[in-house]
Amino acid sequence: MTIDCLVLGAGQEVGKSCVVVTINGKRIMFDCGMHMGHSDHQRYPDFSLISESGDFDNALSCIIITHFHLDHIGALPYFTEVCGYNGPIYMTYPTKALAPLMLEDYRRVLVDRRGEKEQFSSENIADCMKKVTAVDLKQTMLVDRDLQIRAYYAGHVLGAAMFYAKVGDAAMVYTGDYNMTADRHLGAAQIDRLQLDLVITESTYATTIRDSKYVREREFLEAIHKCVDSGGKVLIPAFALGRAQELCMLLDDYWERMNLKVPIYFSAGLTIQANMYYKVLINWASQKVKNLSATRNAFDFKNVHSFERSMINAPGPCVLFATPGMLSGGFSLEVFKQWAPCEQNLIVLPGYCLAETVGHKLMRAKPPARIDVDKSTQIDVRCQIHQLSFSPHTDSKGIMDLIRFLSPKNVILVHGEKPKMASLKERIESDLRIPCYYPANNESQRIETTHYIKAEASKSFLQSSLSPNFKFLKTISRADTGFVLNERAESCVQVCDDRVAEGAVIMQKDQHPKIVHQNELMDILEAENHKVQVAYCCPVCVPDEPKNVALSPGEDMHPVLDKCSLLHLLYTKLSNGFQDVTILNDGDRLQIQSFTVSPCLKEKCPHRIHVNPDSTSEAVNFCCTWSMEDEKLAWRVISSMKNLELKTR
Binders of other proteins in range 116-155 (CB under 8 A): 129, 134, 136-142
Whole-number minimum distance, CB 291 to other proteins, in Å? 13
Question: Which listed residue (631, 643, 645, 647) binds other proteins by CB under 8 A?
Answer: 631
Rg (CA), the chain: 39
- Does the protein bind other proteins through residue 584 (CB under 8 A)? no
Q: What is the dihedral of CA 56, 57, 60, 65, to 10 degrees?
A: 90
Site for other proteins in 63-82 (CB under 8 A): none
Question: Which listed residue (607, 618, 640, 648) binds other proteins by CB under 8 A?
Answer: 607
Q: Determine the Cα–Cα distance for residues 79 and 47; give it in Å rounded to an integer.
A: 8
Helices (H), 281-395: 287-292, 330-339, 358-364
Stretch that binds other proteins, among 37-45, 201-209, 327-335, 623-631 (CB under 8 A): 623-631
Stretch that binds other proteins, among 89-97, 198-206, 327-335, 480-488 (CB under 8 A): 89-97
Whole-number minimum distance, CB 542 to other proteins, in Å? 19
Query: Please, is 299 exposed, middle or buried when counting C-beta atoms within 10 Å of its C-beta (0-12, 13-18, 19+)?
Result: buried
- Does the protein bind other proteins through residue 530 (CB under 8 A)? yes
Whole-number minimum distance, CB 636 to other proteins, in Å? 9
Q: Determine the Cα–Cα distance for residues 462 and 408; give it in Å rounded to an integer.
A: 28
- Total residues found in the chain within this entry: 649
How many residues of this chain interact with other proteins, rule: CB under 8 A? 85
Question: Which listed residue (182, 188, 268, 521) binds other proteins by CB under 8 A?
Answer: 521
Asked whether 21 and 12 are in contact (CB, 8 A), the reply is no
Whose Cβ is closer to other proteins: residue 207's or residue 458's? 458
Whose Cβ is closer to other proteins: residue 94's or residue 232's? 94
Is residue 88 reached through a cis peptide bond, with omega within 30 degrees of 0 on the bond before it? Answer: no
Active site amino acids: 202
Whole-number minimum distance, CB 509 to other proteins, in Å? 9
The DSSP bridge partners found for residue 376 are none
Site for other proteins in 263-292 (CB under 8 A): 273, 276, 279-283
Q: Determine the Cα–Cα distance for residues 377 and 172; give it in Å rounded to an integer.
A: 52
Q: Determine the Cα–Cα distance for residues 400 and 406; give it in Å rounded to an integer.
A: 10
Q: Determine the Cα–Cα distance for residues 336 and 264; give it in Å rounded to an integer.
A: 16
- Does the protein bind other proteins through residue 532 (CB under 8 A)? yes
- Does the protein bind other proteins through residue 58 (CB under 8 A)? no
Site for other proteins in 338-367 (CB under 8 A): none
Stretch that binds other proteins, among 51-59, 255-263, 356-364, 514-522 (CB under 8 A): 514-522
Question: Which listed residue (41, 117, 364, 531) binds other proteins by CB under 8 A?
Answer: 531
- Does the protein bind other proteins through residue 527 (CB under 8 A)? yes
Q: Determine the Cα–Cα distance for residues 425 and 428; give it in Å rounded to an integer.
A: 5
Q: Determine the Cα–Cα distance for residues 230 and 233; give it in Å rounded to an integer.
A: 9
Q: Which of 224, 230, 227, 269 lies closest to 247 in space, CA to CA? A: 224
Question: Which listed residue (79, 93, 307, 331) binds other proteins by CB under 8 A?
Answer: 93
Question: Which listed residue (223, 363, 365, 534) binds other proteins by CB under 8 A?
Answer: 534
Query: Which x/- pattern over 440-479 shows residues binding other proteins (rule: CB under 8 A)?
Result: ----------xxxxxxxxxx--x--xx-------------
The SS3 of residue 312 is coil
Question: Which listed residue (257, 433, 610, 649) binds other proteins by CB under 8 A?
Answer: 610
Question: Which listed residue (188, 369, 506, 549) binds other proteins by CB under 8 A?
Answer: 506
Whose Cβ is closer to other proteins: residue 35's or residue 517's? 517
Task: Look at phi and psi of residue 442 and say left if phi exceeds 0, alpha if psi is from -120 to 50, else beta.
Answer: left
Whose Cβ is closer to other proteins: residue 281's or residue 311's? 281
Strand arrangement, sheet containing 584-585: 584-585, 590-592, 595-599, 619-626
Helices (H), 188-346: 213-229, 243-258, 270-280, 287-292, 330-339
Whole-number minimum distance, CB 107 to other proteins, in Å? 17
DSSP H or E segment with residue 163: strand 161-167
- How far is residue 155 CA from its own chain's centroid? 15
Question: Which listed residue (46, 127, 169, 490) binds other proteins by CB under 8 A?
Answer: 169
Question: Which listed residue (400, 476, 504, 619) binds other proteins by CB under 8 A?
Answer: 504
